[in-house]
A = this chain, B = another copy of it.
Amino acid sequence: MKDERPIGIFDSGVGGLTVLKVFRDRYPGENFIYFGDTARVPYGTKSEKTVVRYSMENSKFLEKFDVKLIVVACNTSSSIALDVLKREFNVPVIGVVKPGSLAAVKVTKTGNVGVIGTEATVKSGSYRKEILLRAPLLNVYEKPCPLFVPLIEEGWIEDEITMLVAKRYLSYFKDGKVDTLVLGCTHYPLLKSVIGKILEGVTLVDSAEETVKETAKVLKGNLDEVGIGKVRVFVSDLNERFEKIAEMILENRISIKEVSTE
């Protein structure tokens, strides 16, 4: 029998919609509740304590909708708050770091893996830990790219300046230092083409795909691939910027509701 309860997804803002998008494409019959904490975005430059508190509040909000599982689509939250959330909630909680790390381990041939993300994600060393747990002999190189999110939110995607910023950050990986690069922030898939041009031949790992696979595994494949499900999107601050980027990611218009979680 189908479990009609929705899947809950939260992110610090709009980036997690890239995860919702993959879920929807794959399992259109499922119901989804998305929450974006746009009133307090970004998380990636804030302290651990604050990120944990925000993540708890977001999960409590999703819990009200009787979700069957919580996806932490934010890499910063996944890096810092996942253990606390797993302990505090009765439904399975899935982050994006473990699936992304698994994919990187499977993909790399040279054993040299790069990770890019926010300052908080890189500082937490979460990807390094998850990767080395599975493959202790790999080399992991991490680099924070704090300007990628504001550049994407400004809409400068295929852009000369974004290219220069990416070249500066990614020069850390030059000369074949890595053969695999984990896009450790849900915004970054929007820069795939720019990053791909700079790091030619490097395999880019987008955690969204792997996170959806991990969810299917945890739910024992009990996911609706054919029906017509319902998506509800909530944010803590409704603004035009969110609507514009949401449309860009989801490739169609959605109705969004503002709520308070504080």
Contacts and interface: CB of A to CB of B under 8 A. Distances in A.
Interface string A154-166: 1000001100110
A238 B147 contact: no
A183 to B, nearest CB: 19
A237 B49 CA distance: 8
Interface stretch (A38-46, A91-99, A218-226): A38-46
Given A45-B239, A238-B47, A154 B147 contact: yes
Task: Give the oligomeric copy count.
Answer: 2
Interface string A26-45: 00000000000011100001
A130 to B, nearest CB: 23
Interface in A186-229: none
Task: Give the interface centre of A147, A153, A258 by most chain B CB atoms within 10 Å.
Answer: A147
Interface of A: 38-40, 45-47, 50, 119, 146-147, 150-151, 153-154, 160-161, 164-165, 168, 236-239, 241, 258, 262
